[in-house]
Chain A
Amino acid sequence: MTATLTPQTGGSHAGGSHRRATPPAAHQLSAPARALRWLRRNVVTLFGILALAYMTLPNLVVLLFSFNDPNGKFNYTWNGFTLDAWKDPFGVAGIKDSLITSLEIAFLSTLFATVLGTAVAFALGRYRFRGRGLTNTLLFVPMSMPEVVMGASLGTLFLNMRISFGFWTILIAHVMFCLSFVVVAVKARVLGMDPKLEEAAQDLYASPTQTFLRVTLPIAAPGIGAGALLAFSLSFDDFVITNFNSGDTVTFPMFVWGAAQRGTPPQINVIGSAMFFIAIAVVIVGQVRTNRRKQKAS
């Protein structure tokens, strides 16, 4: 071992001074070559930042123009800074009612779609029954069908059934298109759940009800929560389907649309920005809580 190493060491000594001349050359790269190298190392970060900017820029514009003091009815050109709209966010006739209507519909349709969707997800994930495959396929119809088609055909259906348009027809429509998303989110969780866990709970003296409340539901909760959040945001900002089924009920997206015909008050931007910040706050709180739980556990 030593016998083979010695000549090698000698050899590197011999050529050492000659070879040592090359590494410093790497530091003396030409300026464009160094820029290229920097780019190569940071290209992923760079694209990441660009993509983030692309996604958030429209929101920032909305936020910026919520501080605008528009000259005239339309809030499309920057005229001057003011806090007027933020001080009086409901200072436009109808905006408050439309927001309340939207929130009511979003809460109710989230509630119904989540309860119903969770039940459907458990049925599809747990049991074998006739029509299961068909149900699985049909679930994707509301997700894949163009909203215009769905809105129009639902409107036709309501008309033919002589149901008058309004709050309830909007709610029915929203529950319908939210349902599929909830089912998909919860089903993934149900399928990933070890059925042995429920057996273990029963083995440990939990009745079927207790098993569901203490084991099944908590484990499915992240899926249910994700489904509910999705349902809420889908319902809150739906315009197309609502437009076909609303009668003279005005939701917030419909108010914005209507306002755009007559003039856009900055209050729309205020409420839009507020929703944006609430959503971000929810996400951040969720993240912080998960991180803290992880830290506490380890």
Chain B
Amino acid sequence: MSEQQRAGASGDVNLVGLSKSFGSNTVVQPTDLTIPAGSFFAVLGASGCGKTTTLRMIAGLEEPTTGQVLIGGQDVTGLPPYKRPVNTVFQNYALFPHLSVAENVAFGLRRKGRKDVDGPVKEMLELVELGHLGGRKPAQLSGGQQQRVAVARALINHPQVLLLDEPLGALDLKLRRQMQLELKRIQTEVGITFVHVTHDQEEAMTMADTIAVMNGGVVEQLGSPADLYESPRTKFVANFLGQSNLLDTRITGTSGGYLLMDVHGTRMALPVDRTAAQGDQVVMGIRPEKIAIQHASAADSNGNRNRIDGGVIVDSSFIGVSTQYTVRMPWAQEITVFEQNMERDHRLVPGAPVVLHWNPDHGFGLAPEPATASAAVKA
């Protein structure tokens, strides 16, 4: 308890019924969210889902329509941005073009009235490996270097929370990968709470301890990357993080912790505790890499595995580590399968009849209709 309180005093972010409307357009639905101190927290969603608006409300750059923002247990809702213990790394960095790199980094300290800024600035530039470029103007740096300056400029102030608004969006793929690891390293080193807004699911999964997936102004699901990937609770999450095959089913009964179901005439099973829906209609999701594919003539009985007969390969693409198959089901649905390239069966070519099967425990159950707000918000 006391430890929790102490953590709460340093960098917890609490959003209480926080919402934002522009006129009649509600961008962020009332949201309750706790971001634990010291965590790397990602807010993931497509553009226009309200993730940046949420971040800006934490920074104080946007005034919430309802609700409160608490940082370290203190209500900051009424405070202007320059009085909040947070700093932001902006999309496209927003470095001051008229100031040198060192002066950009020193900006926050100077505004707080510190005179001896040289030491900390040098230290901070070393941390982001730009010690030798303090005299340059931002325009003379590469995109990756500018990005580091933006991080240094924010971190030097030791904010309780660092907000990152799509900080890697302007970088090319290779540099983005590199900076992901770099940011993660810096976060571990300084131990400050990072709130990272991104539309890149891979970025969120690589970096974050906890991800909040936002859609239509609502946090659809909150959890660790593995949680979200293995047990998505909504169709949006199932498809936004990686790929999913979704099968319409009809529940026929239960047996030993499993739901028994009819999938277009085939009996299948799904663990009850992996099903986020009630009723007799459930959509079963299965990740493409969890499905085994076999040529129809080679298929043996697959025991207790969920199994679909009568599929036909319509497309296959060799990716290197794996091969991606598109298989048409007897009921015309197309299912994607990723098969590791260990022992390649050369009969698996377009047109070949195949059998698909998978461990029932790998499936997940979703509500059949697009998730409604009440079912989704458990954040």
Residues of chain A whose beta carbon lies under 8 Å from any beta carbon of chain B: 194, 196-197, 199-207, 210, 214-215, 218-219, 221, 296-298
Contact = CB atoms under 8 A, between A and B. Distances in A.
A205 B96 contact: no
A204 B90 CA distance: 12
Interface in B261-276: none
Sort chain B's interface into a size bin: 20 to 34
B96 A200 contact: yes
Given A197-B94, A202-B61, A297 B137 contact: yes
Nearest to B156: A204
Contacts of B140: 297-298
A218 B136 contact: no
Contacts of B136: 297-298
B37 interface: no
Contact of B112 (A199, A205, A297): A205
A297 B101 CA distance: 10
Given A199-B61, A204-B107, A219 B98 contact: yes
B157 interface: yes
B173 to A, nearest CB: 24
B69 to A, nearest CB: 14
Given A197-B94, A199-B81, A298-B140, A204 B100 contact: no
16 contacts: A196-B90, A196-B91, A196-B94, A197-B94, A199-B90, A202-B81, A203-B82, A203-B154, A204-B87, A204-B107, A205-B111, A214-B107, A219-B96, A219-B97, A297-B136, A297-B140
B132 to A, nearest CB: 13
Interface of B: 59-61, 80-83, 86-88, 90-92, 94-98, 100, 107-108, 111-112, 135-137, 140, 153-154, 157
Nearest to B108: A204
Nearest to B136: A297
A219 to B, nearest CB: 6
Nearest to A193: B97
Nearest to A206: B111
B103 to A, nearest CB: 10
Contacts of B92: 194, 196
A197 B98 CA distance: 11
Nearest to B92: A196
B98 A297 contact: no
Given A204-B153, A298-B136, 6 more contacts: A197-B97, A200-B90, A202-B81, A204-B87, A204-B111, A297-B135
B97 A205 contact: no
A210 B86 CA distance: 18
A298 B140 CA distance: 8
B243 to A, nearest CB: 35
A9 B135 CA distance: 55
